[in-house]
Each structure stands twice: as structure tokens, then as C-alpha cells.
Structure 1
Amino acid sequence: MKNNFLLAITLILLSFLSCSSDNQIDEPNPPTNLSISGVIFGADTNNPNGDGSGVVDFTITATNATSYKVLINNETLELTQNTFSYTFTQGGTNNYEIIVAAYNSSGNTSVTYSLSVYVKTELALIWQDEFDANGAPNSANWGYNTGTGDNGWGNNESQYYTDRLDNAKVENGVLKITAKKESFGGSEYTSARLITAGKFEFTYGRVDVRAKLPAGGGVWPAIWMLGANFGSVGWPACGEIDIMEYVGNNPGQISSALHTTSSSGNTVNHKVTSISNETTEFHIYSAIWTESSITFLLDDVEYYTYNPSTKNNDTWPFYNNQFLILNIAMGGNLGGTIDPNFDVSTMEIDYVRVYQ
């Protein structure tokens, strides 16, 4: 009898183990094939970092994932769905690293994703000249560099800069800087170079200049900025920000550039972009200067950002005040050959505005 009882217990135990084995739920493998992608709202060829809204739509893909955690801009999001939207708010163009982890009951895996997003910010107008009063440019805003390249700006230019109304005057709501073919001070051409040095200098902000450019082979108009410490540290250590340069011998394009100790003169830090009707219509030439980058825009469309990976005095002298410069050079290293039939040409400037 005892042996029969033991046999019965053994059969019941074997039956339980068999049933338990047959009904066991297999645990899934930890998530695999994890990735995340982001679509920046308003991004296109001209605005690769978006339209300034800061909105990005993200999609996560993974195999065997049941939930997700996302570390984004120092925030942690816990998700069960694989799509979400996020709005970045830090002004300017900024780089972000996003960490996403996928989970199931067996474990988790993670990846890192990088992207750059542009965010427009509300700026306050801190300085402007609307050129509403006819006559000489407002002396509270503008001074002059006068003379020739022998005075220190070089570039083998051919003009003599004057402070005459013939070369710089306000008329009918615009500033007119005029380059002329005439003998003056030993030069064959005259022009004007207006500066805000000692009158208005600033660090960081946005500059907008609405202008119509001069035409003619050899003209070299520029809208630019120079470090206010130019007199003590010299060029290029002071840093130069060329918002817009135009060469009459190369119609249909403008350029922007940065000159630093690490890259000056024929600098590698520059970009050329196309433009149309530049000598017959007004366009807005802009620069957005922040603590970490300088971005250039044509008619509010971004086309070049300078943001060196290593910032030191050689690559980034742009942490001191700069002043504004408006001028037309003739010939020189960039302007090139002057058309022998050149007589006179004018750059018209509707306004200069600085925001912070």
C-alpha cells in the first residue's frame, strides 16, 4: 500500500511539472534596433535648422519595446507611444543631444541623437538710424574714416574716403554713399566710409540693414563690424564681422565672412550666397551675434553660421564690443579691376537697426 501511495504522489508531481512547463510564458528579449529621428518644423534647404518656432516632431522605432524614456534639454519624458513633439525655446541656433531608452520586462537599451534647432527670440531695438533728416549723416551716430589705404586699411584700394556731402548724404529718407571717378588727394576715385566707433558700440545682438547696392565693375560696398579694441590689439586680433560684401564684377552674389587671428585676409570662414536685383531693389542684410555663434541672413533667410568647435582668442575674439561700418571701396584685393567707363554709383541705405 505504501508503495502505491508513493507512486501516486510521484505521478501527480510529474504531471504538475509537465503542465507548468507547457504553460510557461516566455520572456521577450530586451529591445533592439532602437533609433530616433526628428523633423524640425519649417526646415528646408535655406533654413536647415527650422523656421524659428523651435518645434520638432520625433519618431522612435524599436523592436520589442513597450515604453520609452527620453532625456531632452534636461527634461525627462516617460512615454508609451513612439511619437512626440517638443518645443525648444533657447534663442538662436543651438545643438542638442537627446538620449532615448526603450524598455520591456527583460531590460532596456539606449541611443543618443544630435540635432541643431533655430529659435527666433523677441528682441528689443537698442539703436537705430532711419535717415529721416536730409543733409549730412547724424553726427551723434556716425563718424568718418578719411584718406587712402595709407591710413591703415590697405587692400590696395583706389578710392580716397572723404567726409563731403558729395560722397555721403541723407536724402529722401535714405543714406546715400556715393563712389565717384574724380581726382582727389592723389586718388582717381572718391567715396565715403562711415563708422560708429566711439558713438555706438555693442556686444551681442542682431543687426538689420536695408540697402540697395551700387553697380559697376570695381565697386566693393560693405556692411560690416570691427572690434572696438582695434586700436590696442590691432587687426585681426580685434575680430571682424563682414555682414555683407558685394563685388560689382560678380553680380548676383554676396558674401559674409569672419576674420580672426586663426583665419584672416583670404579667410576660410566665409560663405557666398545668390541674390537677385541687388542693385535695383532693397534687401535686408542681417547678422545674429550670440555668445557662441554668428549667423548671417539675407532677407531673413539664414545662409551661414560661424560656430567654431574650439573657441579661444584665435578663433573667437567676438566677446568684446564692435562698431558698425558702411562703405564703398573701389578696386582692391576683392573689388578687382575697375571698369574704365565707371563714372558714379551709389549705395542707398534705408535703415540700420540693432536689437538685443
Structure 2
Amino acid sequence: MKFQPSLSLSLVLFLFFSCSPRAQVIFEENFDGDSLNMEHWNYEEGDGCPNLCGWGNNERQIYSRDYVTIEDGKLVIEAVKKGDKYFSGKVNTKDKIEFQYGTIEVRAKLATGEGLWPAIWMLGTNINEVGWPASGEIDLMEYVGREPHTIYSSLHTPANHAGNASSKKTVIKDIEEGYHTYKTVWTRDDIQYFIDGKHVYTFKPPVYDDAHYPFRHPFYFLINMAVGGNFGGPEVDDSVFPAKFYVDHIKVTRK
């Protein structure tokens, strides 16, 4: 007698996927409308003084909301030079959009040129209480114009921070062309990085304590473009201004 399976393959697949846990969208920003959604975002302005002049990195820019716009469904951060001063934009989601763990996907188009430093990153919500780097810092994507074709994926902890951060450089020849997708999977035990779907780095600490893995509490987003500084400079090519950094969307999911 010929064996007849009780369930067809298509039915098995349907039951598998319908019963599998689905990712929950916990934040999605598509930059719709003609202005920044202030239910999600805050502007950061000034040069960091008096508490953190040069924002701790000897950066040259003065941040102003005038250089943050929404164009055609995209966040645009522009850097310009006026006289002997540089201006740019910076926004964050502190006290508005904060979360713990998840898969973060960002689609962005870089601004390029020596001295530019566009970045999408995260800080621990406890930074006002414990300071940096005790709060932890997750750099989702950093690019510095002095190193063409290179993306930095970095983590800052009390044990390893600033010039000694846990970091991976990924060289992609066409990274300056068009939009690219940067994905970070943040869990209780590790942080994984992907660029355009390709895995590029996994961070796991040698010890799970506050000094080596301060990533077990909520974080918030920051998006900015610095000019010059310890990491972005020191040289700045003034011919690149005005320069624009575009962010198409941000999505955070969690199972």
C-alpha cells in the first residue's frame, strides 16, 4: 500500500510560519510629512560648551536646527561653512523613543569629503546619572571622509572606549554611492552588525559586567554629522561644503 502523508508540505509550512513568533515593530520612522516629528525627536544645538566643548572630540561644527530638514520622505542633515565657522545638524530621541534590545535597520546615504563625520548611534538612557562611557554607546554606523570606502561598527564601554573602542572597519568600494542598509541586532548577550545584508561584526565581551557590557538597559538614538575633530579630522576640505547626509528610514523590531 502506498504511503500517503497526512499533511501536505504547503500545509506544514503554513503551520510552521503561522505559529512562529513574529517580530513586533517597536519603532518605525519614515520621515513623512514636511517637518521633523517632534513626538519622536529633539534638536541638539550649540558647540557643547561649557560642559562639553567640541562635544568631547574637538569638533568644529556648531549644531543648529536650521540644518535639519525633511525632504521627499528623508531626514537631511546638512553641513555648511559660513565665514570661518562650520554649522551642521544633530537630533536625538532622548526621553521620547527609548528601548532595550531589538533589530535596528537604518537606510542612509552618506555625505562624503575629508573632515565630514556622519553617524547614526545610540546612548544609554542613564547617561545623565552615570556619565559616558558608563552609559555605553552603540555606534550603528560611522563614516569619516578621510577614510574613503570604510564603515566603522563600534561599541564604547568603560573597559574599552574612545580610541580603544571595540570596533570593526569594513571596506566597501561603492559605499559612497546611493543608499545602503545598516542593520544591528542587539541582544542581552551580543551585538551583531550587517551592511546590505552581509554580516560584518559580532561583539561579545570577555566578561558580562558593567565595565564590559553596559548594554542591558534602554538606549536612545542620535543622528548627526560632525566636522573635523579627533576622529573626523583633523584636516577639513572646505570644497565639500555644503554637504548633505540623508536618512531614509529607521525601523526597530523585536521578537
* TM-score under structure 2 length normalisation: 0.87
Per-residue CA deviations over 1:131-164 (Å, capped at 9, x if unaligned) read 1212x31101110111113242220000000112
Structural mapping, 1:293-308, within 5 Å:
293-308=190-205
Q: Take 1:296 and 1:349, find their aligned partners in 2: how far apart are those partners?
A: 18
Aligned length: 231
- Partner residue of 1:239? 136
Equivalent residue number for residue 188 of structure 2: 291
Which residue of the partner structure matches residue 25 of structure 1?
none
Q: Secondary structure at the match of 2:231?
A: helix
Report sequence identity in percent: 39
Task: Give the aligned partner of residue 116 of structure 2.
Answer: 219
Q: Give the equivalent residue in structure 2 for 1:339.
A: 237
Asked if the contact 1:216/1:342 (under 8 Å) is kept, the reply is yes
Residue 138 of structure 1 aligns with which residue?
37
Q: Deviations over 1:163-197 (max 9, x none)?
A: 12xx11111111111111124xxx71111111000
Q: Quick check: 2:104–2:184 contact (8 Å CA) kept in 1?
A: yes
Secondary structure at 1:333 match in 2 = helix
Determine whether 1:355 maps to 2:249.
no
In 2, Cα distance between equivalents of 1:271 and 1:125: 28
- Post-superposition Cα deviations, 1:191-217, rounded to whole Å, max 9, x if no partner, equal 111100011000000111100000111
Quote the offset at 1:268 in angstroms.
Answer: 4.1
Letter in 2 for 1:196: T
Residue 146 of structure 1 contacts residue 160 of structure 1 at CA under 8 Å; is this kept in 2? Answer: yes
Find the counterpart in structure 1 of residue 18 from structure 2: none
Q: What is the match of residue 63 of structure 2?
A: 161
Two-structure CA RMSD over aligned residues (Å): 1.5
Work out whether 1:320 is the aligned partner of 2:217: yes
Question: Matched residues in 2 for 1:312 and 1:219: separation?
Answer: 34
Q: Equivalent residue of 1:341, what SS?
A: helix
Aligned residue for 2:173? 276
Tell me, in whole angstroms, the C-alpha distance in 2 between the residues paired with 1:268 and 1:198: 26
> 1:246–1:254: 8 Å Cα contact kept in structure 2?
yes
Cα separation, 1, equivalents of 2:196 and 2:22: 18
* Deviation beyond 4 Å, 4+ runs, structure 1: none
**Unaligned 5+ residue runs, structure 2?**
1-20
Q: Deviations over 1:108-130 (max 9, x none)?
A: xxxxxxxxxxxxx8422111110
Shift of 1:341: 2.3
Give TM-score, length-normalised by structure 1.
0.63
* Counterpart residue number, 2:89: 192
Worse-matched range after superposition: 328-337 or 340-349: 340-349
Cα deviation 1:237-276 (Å, max 9, x = unaligned): 0000011110111111101111010011112410000123
Matched, 1:176 2:76: yes
Determine the C-alpha separation between the residues in 2 that align with 1:289 and 1:343. Answer: 35
Larger Rg: 1
Report the counterpart of residue 65 of structure 1 in structure 2.
none
Aligned equivalents of 1:333, 1:253: Cα separation in 2: 17
Question: In structure 2, what is the Cα distance between the partners aligned to 1:329 and 1:281?
Answer: 20
Distance 2:100 2:211 in 1: 18
If each structure's strand is expressed as a fraction of its own residues, which one has the higher value? 1
Hey, what does 2:24 align to over in structure 1?
124
1:285 deviates by 0.9
